[in-house]
Amino acid sequence: MSLKKRTPYFKSGWNINVLQAFIRDGDRCVYCGRELLNQFCVACGDHLLPRRLYPQLVDSVDNLVPACTHCNRIKQEYDPSDGKGLETAITEEVRLAFIHKSKEWIKTKHLEYARDYQTGEAAFKKAVAEYRNQSTVPG
């Protein structure tokens, strides 16, 4: 395949199943819709059902979707099958349901992270201000 080993990032070669998933899903993150190939965005293949929990599905194109690194990092090992991944045939309908469920979970986590960040940011700014006030007082 002419795409293999053309860049240092993919020196071990391209995973044909990930390429098929990118083509199937229109080169967009299935979770946020971000264009993955036309913008400065790092793209990756995500396992709908986490590979650590379902090593049997690692190479299944039905279990692979394109994702941006932001969504992939938030999703981590979330299992939209609620532990029933091996009992479920991943049809197109099931795949879309898993994507939808993961998308909702990512939105919830993103809001939690945003709240935590705002709280942490305010506390950090307060600590910096207090430190600056202490270090400017002649001692």
For residue 112, being part of any structural domain is answered with: yes
Q: What's the domain count of the chain?
A: 1
pLDDT in 10s for each residue of the chain, 139 residues: 444 445 554 555 667 888 899 999 998 999 999 988 766 668 888 999 999 999 999 889 999 999 998 899 999 999 999 999 999 999 999 999 999 999 999 999 988 877 877 777 777 888 888 888 886 656 5
pTM of the model: 0.73
- Domain for residue 3, yes or no? no
Is 68 inside any structural domain?
Answer: yes
Task: Dump the DSSP string for 23-68.
Answer: HHTTTB-TTT--BSSSSS--EEEEESS-TTT-GGGTT-GGGEEEEE
Domain span at residue 75?
8-136
Per-residue confidence (pLDDT) for residue 4, from 0 to 100: 47
